[in-house]
Each structure stands twice: as structure tokens, then as C-alpha cells.
Amino acid sequence: MNLKDENYYQLRGENIKRGEKMSSGGKGGWAVNKKKFDKKVKILQMDSLFKSEEPLAYRMCPRDMEEYFGQRHILGEGKLLRRAIEADRMTSIILYGPPGTGKTALARVIANHTKARFEWLNAATAGLQEIRKAIAEARKERKAGRKTILFLDEIHRLNKLQQDALLPDVEEGNVTLIAATVENPFFYVNSALLSRSQVFELKPLLEEDLLSVMKSALRDRERGLGRMGIQADEEALRHLARVSDGDARRALSALELAALTTAAGTDGVIHITGAVAEESIQKKTVVYDKAGDQHYDTISAFIKSMRGSDPDAAVYYLAKMIYAGEDPRFIARRLIIFASEDIGLKDPMALVLAVAALHAVEFIGMPEGRIPLAHAVLYAATAPKSNAGIVAIDRALKDIAEQTTLEVPDHLKDAHYRGAEKLGRGAGYKYPHDYPDAKVEQEYLKKKKKYFEKPE
């Protein structure tokens, strides 16, 4: 930098004249003044970043496909969605995935690329009136020969009436709908809208993708942290990426917190070390919705891991549910069901242990309740398996529902009341304990049935 240059830096409306107060007089001359000048520039740069109203995650939202990281399964070279974006030939789509995976970011990329008019609505705040107003504007634009893309964030928050209001105009092509949701659209979006839209599922970002996102923010001088003079250790960034669990917004928020709360060293550089990274993101957040996909997917994997006799996978999913705050009584109830359905007669003790785990959890509470739960889960996962019980009862129930109900044979009917003998109740009944091994052949059903297959 030429210190005698009379140009100016403009930072947050403040002019710093290069060469200001930098006469060669005094101890240290230009070298000392240069340090003071650089320090003043850095202070104002930091002040600019602190005063910025938008979080780093918002500022770093990608502007085009080159800045978009992750989701190669739907946005890789030659993939359908990427071709549609690049050709500006969008049809109605629903973007579905966990928070921080790039749903809104992808919508912004489309908005920057398309020649169509782009309308933004958030279902959490938009009512039926706002939706109808947006559609009315779209109709006018269509008459003028211009397409409208309506981006509707959090579509799962719309009720049936609000979703129905979109349907005719989506079908007629007055609007191209791009909807985003963290919930499974097949549960929350009505079937008519689903049939007119292509659903794309976004996955949690890979660790390498999150590293790329953060490094991009550290380099970017315009929107990111590039002006702050930050040196981040690779292991610190990897820690943030790991703990962010596929969520780019969380990774960038943690990185921003680390940058803004860490003082510069004697060299004027902000050093983000492993210790700083750990402080900036102290507890990992597991994506787990107690009434949605993550809840049902995790309990499904938990049950199937025990059924498949994989104790490590079973205890992993148990840990995930406990960490996310799942009701331990719900887990114990599922264990009881599993013990009867999938272990059954092969090891009846499994049911006893599952019931004991439920009582233990209710008695001692959490976090200690995790121990009897783990005990029961590991026992169930390693126990021999048999589904003979559920197969037998379901076969019998099917017969009851679909076939003629069989009458109870007279010799098995209750004979403990006055007049039963006159009706022939109990006549000819053979008491099994009067026979060897307490077994006796007699008619127990009017029609022979086979429901139970004894496990080997």
C-alpha cells in the first residue's frame, strides 16, 4: 500500500484518508504510522461486520449453481433438476429435507437465474388473502406474457383450504410452484398438489461440503468474513462440520460466532483453534421431530436393527432417541412389543426384561434410565428370534374376520351353573391331568385349524 496515496477507504460511511497523520517525523516514522493506520482500518472493518443486520448464513446464500454446495444426487451435472434450472424451464416442484440443507438457497439460485417473475411467500406468516393476492398478480403477468414462479416456504404449515386455493392456478399454469418443507410432503401436502409437482428430497450435507461452505465464507470479502483476517485451523473447521450434522446454516452460525467473539492475537490475526470451535458449538443438535419423519424413521431403524440381531446399530438408534429427548417410556413400550412380536417363545425372558425396563425408567427417571433401557435393548438384539406368536394370532384374527364363526363344542362349554347338565354342557369332557403327560386327544374346534408353527 502506498501510504502517501491520497485515496480514501470508505467503510460504513467513514472516510480514512491514506497518509492521514503519517508524517515521517517522530520515532518509527512511516512503519509505526502504518501499524496504527492498519489497526484503525481493521477496527472499522470489524465494526462493519458487527453492525451487519444479516447473519453470515443469510449473507452467504449462493447466487448461482457454482456457489451451491451439496445435493449432487439431484443437482449434479446432467441431473434433471439442474437441467431444468439452467434451461429456465421450471415446473412445479417440492423441495423436502432437514433444516440447513439448501432448500431456500436453491430457490434463491433459481430466482437469480430465471427470467420469470419470482414471488416469495412464507406459509408461517402468509394467510389465504396473501396467497390469493399473489395468484391474482400472477394471472395479470401471464396475460402480459410473463411467467410467475411462486416460492412458498414451509408449505406444511398451510391448511387444506389454503392448499386448495393454489391448486387451480398451479394446474392451469398461472403459477409455477416451488415449495419447501422440512416435513414429509406425502403426509402434509394434499394429494392433488403432489400429483402436479415433482418432489425432490435434499439430504444433510456431507462433511466435505460443509468445509467448502465455511472456507468460502472465510475467503469472501464482500459477503463473508474475508476482511476480518481470520486463520482457522483445519481441525477446528472439521469439528464445526462434524457437530453441525449436515446443517450448513448451523455451521456458518457457529463460524460467525467464533469469528466475532475471538480477539485478534498480537499478530493482528483472529485464530480459530479447536478449543474456540468447541466453545462456539457446544452441543450437537440432532434433527429429530417427535411427530414427523425422523421420529418414525429412527424407531423403525431401531426395531429392524434388533430384529436383525445387530446390537451396535440398535444401541446407536437408542442413543439417538435419548439424545434428541424422546420419551423413554415410548422406547420401553416399543421394546415390550418387540419382545413379544420378534422374540416370543424363543426366549420368553425378553418380555420380562422389557417390562422391567419400563418400570425401572418410570421409577428412577433419566438420565440413569438409559442404563436399564440399554440392558434390555442389547438383550433383545442378541436373543434368538421367533415371530410365531404374532403370526398365529393374526392368522386366527383373519379367520374370525372373514370366515363363519365356529361354535364352541358342547363338551368344552361352561358346566358350572344349574341346568347346564340338562343342556349337555360339559358332557364327555376329558380332563387332561387325568392322562399321561397331561395330554389328551379330543375335539377343541369344530373344524380343524392350524395357526401355530412351533419354533425350532
Give yes or no for a contact between 247 and 98, defined as CB atoms under 8 angstroms apart: yes
Q: Is this prediction's pTM over 0.85?
A: no
96, 179: one domain? yes
Q: Flag whether 452 is in a domain.
A: no
Give the CATH number of the domain where residue 99 resides: 3.40.50.300
- Considering 229, 248, 280, which residue would you say is the last residue of a domain? 280
Angstrom CA distances, 356 to 321, 359, 364, 369, 379, stand at 20, 5, 12, 11, 12
Burial (CB count within 10 angstroms: exposed 0-12, middle 13-18, buried 19+), residue 316: middle
142, 171: one domain? yes
Q: State the number of CA atoms in the 13 A half-sphere of 148 facing the CB.
A: 24
419, 354: one domain? no
**Cell numbers describing residue 228:** 476480518
Q: Flag whether 12 is in a domain.
A: yes
Give yes or no for a contact between 114 and 84, defined as CB atoms under 8 angstroms apart: no
Mean model confidence pLDDT for the chain:
86
Residue range 436-450: mean pLDDT, rounded:
90
172, 114: one domain? yes
DSSP string, 379-441: HHHHS----HHHHHHHHHHHHHHHSPPPPPPGGGS---STTTTTTTTTTT---GGGSGGG---
Q: Flag whether 180 is in a domain.
A: yes
Give yes or no for a contact between 252 and 60, defined as CB atoms under 8 angstroms apart: yes
**Which pLDDT score, from 0 to 100, does residue 112 have?**
87
Q: What is the chain's Cα-based Rg?
A: 34
SS3 358: helix
pLDDT of residue 179 exceeding 50, the answer is: yes
**Which pLDDT score, from 0 to 100, does residue 11 have?**
36
Q: Flag whether 455 is in a domain.
A: no
Residues with Cβ < 8 Å from 142, sequence gap 6 or more? 148, 173, 174
pLDDT of residue 30 exceeding 80, the answer is: no
- Considering 166, 201, 236, which residue would you say is the last residue of a domain? 201
Q: What stretch of H or E contains 109? A: helix 103-113
The pair phi, psi for residue 78, each rounded to 5°, is 85, -5
- What is the tens place of the pLDDT at every residue in 40-83? 544 444 444 444 578 999 999 999 999 999 999 999 999 999 99
- What is the tens place of the pLDDT at every residue in 109-130? 998 888 888 889 999 888 888 8
DSSP state of 22: -
CA–CA separation, 362 and 372 (whole Å): 11
For cell 468460502, the residue is 216
- What is the tens place of the pLDDT at every residue in 378-396? 999 999 999 999 999 999 9
Residues with Cβ < 8 Å from 78, sequence gap 6 or more? none
Angle at 41 between CA 38 and CA 44, to 5 degrees: 150
pLDDT of residue 15 exceeding 50, the answer is: no
pLDDT of residue 371 exceeding 50, the answer is: yes
Give yes or no for a contact between 156 and 181, defined as CB atoms under 8 angstroms apart: yes
Domain that holds residue 191: 71-201
CA–CA separation, 176 and 229 (whole Å): 44
Sequence-distant contacts of 193-198: CB under 8 A, at least 24 apart:
193/163, 193/166, 193/167, 194/94, 196/92, 196/167, 196/170, 196/171, 197/91, 197/92, 197/93, 197/94, 197/170, 198/91, 198/92, 198/93, 198/94
**Which pLDDT score, from 0 to 100, does residue 128 have?**
86
Quickly state the pLDDT bin for 8 (edges 50, 70, 90). Answer: very low
Query: Whose CA is closest to 166, among 201, 138, 200?
Result: 138
218, 337: one domain? no
Residues with Cβ < 8 Å from 319, sequence gap 6 or more? none
345, 402: one domain? no
Quickly state the pLDDT bin for 284 (edges 50, 70, 90). Answer: low
Q: Flag whether 237 is in a domain.
A: yes
80, 186: one domain? yes
DSSP state of 205: P
- Considering 217, 248, 280, which residue would you say is the last residue of a domain? 280
Q: Flag whether 322 is in a domain.
A: yes
Give the CATH number of the domain where residue 363 resides: 1.20.272.10
- What is the tens place of the pLDDT at every residue in 52-61? 578 999 999 9
Overall residue count recorded for the chain in this entry: 456
Domain count of the fold of the chain: 5
**Which pLDDT score, from 0 to 100, does residue 52 have?**
56
